[in-house]
């Protein structure tokens, strides 16, 4: 069964003189899914969002949302896309209701529809009890939740969120992630999240794209990313085995001749291999009466992606 592509980019590129902020981005995001565009600061995520919103023109290539070109049809795009920037702004001397009322009027809603939506949205983001308080008194988390309500005032088919959890405490992060998940699961909206918070955002995304220096270096379900990012690079396997005797190295080498083996202090064994050899290795050790005390493989998992691209940011 084919899935409807809601957001598409084709060789999307943005250059600023000698700087290429986004380089030939090819991406498809399906209707009703949550897609995480994850990368360190300066990767080109916000520039990509601006092109998707029709707020800046690509140098080359194009982007479409629901089949409509974001550069040629910016008015249509703004009607159907809700956007929450990384630093959401409200009139702080106005109440939450007044801010939402203003947004509703800007989008041409009737007064009756505006009031009905305000009530339901404030309840949804758990701000009903403070809806008549000035937004200047709100915490960061409350403003972010109000931002979600604000994006929903025009009932968009697509929602784009730029760093939605930045600056929130753990409770606020969980509230925000649950809200975002509901937008896709309950409302069937398409959600694009831009973030450098790898471990937070990956919890709710159907698919993830790793975006580094303007390039999409890997894309797919989270469990497939390591193989893509570190393709062709060796895995490191650390083991503690009893006993460590003379025949152990030759036994391990019988699995693959090209693996590298290092023994540290007659206790720890470090193996480098292009393939994952854990299953045949454990079977071989068991058949030969070796006892495995410790085993850890590194080189292609989420921790390795985090260490390589995100650690300094988070």
Residues 26, 54 within the same domain? yes
b/e burial code for range 58-95 (CB count within 10 A of at least 16 → b) = beebbbbbbebebeebeeebbeebbbbeeebebeeeeb
Domain boundary among 229, 258, 273: 229
Residues 202, 290 within the same domain? no
CA pair distance 88, 46, nearest whole angstrom: 14
Cβ atoms of 231 and 59 closer than 8 Å = no
Q: Is 214 left (phi over 0), alpha (psi -120 to 50) or beta?
A: left
We report the CATH number of the domain holding residue 141 as 3.40.50.300
Mean pLDDT calculated for residue range 254-259: 89
Residues 80, 151 within the same domain? yes
> Is 306 a member of any domain?
no
> Is 304 a member of any domain?
no
Which residues span the domain enclosing 285? 235-298
Domain boundary among 168, 202, 229: 229
> Is 308 a member of any domain?
no
Residues 175, 250 within the same domain? no
Mean pLDDT of the chain: 91
pLDDT at 313 over 60: no
> Is 303 a member of any domain?
no
Taking residue 281's Cβ as centre, other Cβ atoms within 10 Å add up to 23
> Is 309 a member of any domain?
no
Residues 283, 183 within the same domain? no
| pLDDT, position 281 | 94
Q: Which of 304, 311, 306 is nearest to 233 (CA)?
A: 304
Residues 165, 202 within the same domain? yes
Residues 137, 209 within the same domain? yes
Identify the band that residue 292 occupies on the pLDDT scale cut at 50, 70 and 90.
very high
SS3 string, the chain, reads CCCCEEEEEEEEEEEECCEEEEEEEEEEEECCCEEEEECCCCCCHHHHHHHHCCCCCCCEEEEEECCEECCCCHHHHHHHEEEECCCCCCCCCCEHHHHHHHHHHHCCCCHHHHHHHHHHHHHHCCCHHHCCCEHHHCCHHHHHHHHHHHHHCCCCCEEEEECCCCCCCHHHHHHHHHHHHHHHHCCCCEEEEEECCHHHHCCCCCEEEEEECCEEEEEECHHHHHHHHCCCCCEEEEEEEECCCCCHHHHHHCCCCCCEEEEECCCEEEEEECCCCHHHHHHHHHHCCCEEEEEEEECCCHHHHHHHHHCCCC
Q: What is the pLDDT of residues 158-200, one digit of tens each?
A: 999 999 998 888 998 999 999 999 999 999 999 999 998 888 8
Length of the chain: 314
Our count of domains for the chain comes to 2
Domain boundary among 189, 206, 229: 229
Residues 262, 172 within the same domain? no
We report the CATH number of the domain holding residue 263 as 3.30.70.3400
Residues 18, 108 within the same domain? yes
Mean pLDDT calculated for residue range 113-142: 95
What does the radius of gyration of the chain's CA atoms come to, in whole angstroms?
Answer: 25
Q: What is the pLDDT of residues 45-71, one digit of tens each?
A: 999 999 999 999 999 999 999 999 999
Contacts of 305 (CB under 8 A, 6+ apart): 198, 210, 225, 226, 229
């Amino acid at each position: 069964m084919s899935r409807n592509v809601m957001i598409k980019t084709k060789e999307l590129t943005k250059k600023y003189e000698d700087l290429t902020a986004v380089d030939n981005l090819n991406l498809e995001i399906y209707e009703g899914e949550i897609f995480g565009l994850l990368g360190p600061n300066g990767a080109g995520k916000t520039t990509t969002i601006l092109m998707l919103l029709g707020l800046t023109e690509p140098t080359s290539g194009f982007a479409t949302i629901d089949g409509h070109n974001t550069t040629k049809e910016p008015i249509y795009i703004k009607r159907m896309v809700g956007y929450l920037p990384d630093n959401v702004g409200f009139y702080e001397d106005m109440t939450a209701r007044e801010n939402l009322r203003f947004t509703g009027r800007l989008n041409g809603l009737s007064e009756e529809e505006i009031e009905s939506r305000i009530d339901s949205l404030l309840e949804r983001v758990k701000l009903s009890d403070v809806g008549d308080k000035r937004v200047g008194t709100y915490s960061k988390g409350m403003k972010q939740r109000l931002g979600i309500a604000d994006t929903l005032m025009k009932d968009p088919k697509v929602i784009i969120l730029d760093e939605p959890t930045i600056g929130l405490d753990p409770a606020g992060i969980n509230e925000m992630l649950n809200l975002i998940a509901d937008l896709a699961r309950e409302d069937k909206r398409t959600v694009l999240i831009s973030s450098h918070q790898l471990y937070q955002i990956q919890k709710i995304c159907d698919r993830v794209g790793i975006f580094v220096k303007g390039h999409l270096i890997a894309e797919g379900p989270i469990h497939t990313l390591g193989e893509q990012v570190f393709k062709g690079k060796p895995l490191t396997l650390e083991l503690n085995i009893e006993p460590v005797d003379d025949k152990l190295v030759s036994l391990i080498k019988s699995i693959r001749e090209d693996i590298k083996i290092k023994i540290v202090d007659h206790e720890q064994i470090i193996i480098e291999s292009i393939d994952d050899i854990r299953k045949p290795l454990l079977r071989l050790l068991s058949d030969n009466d070796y006892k495995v005390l410790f085993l850890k493989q590194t080189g292609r998992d989420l921790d390795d992606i985090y260490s390589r691209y995100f650690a300094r940011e988070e």
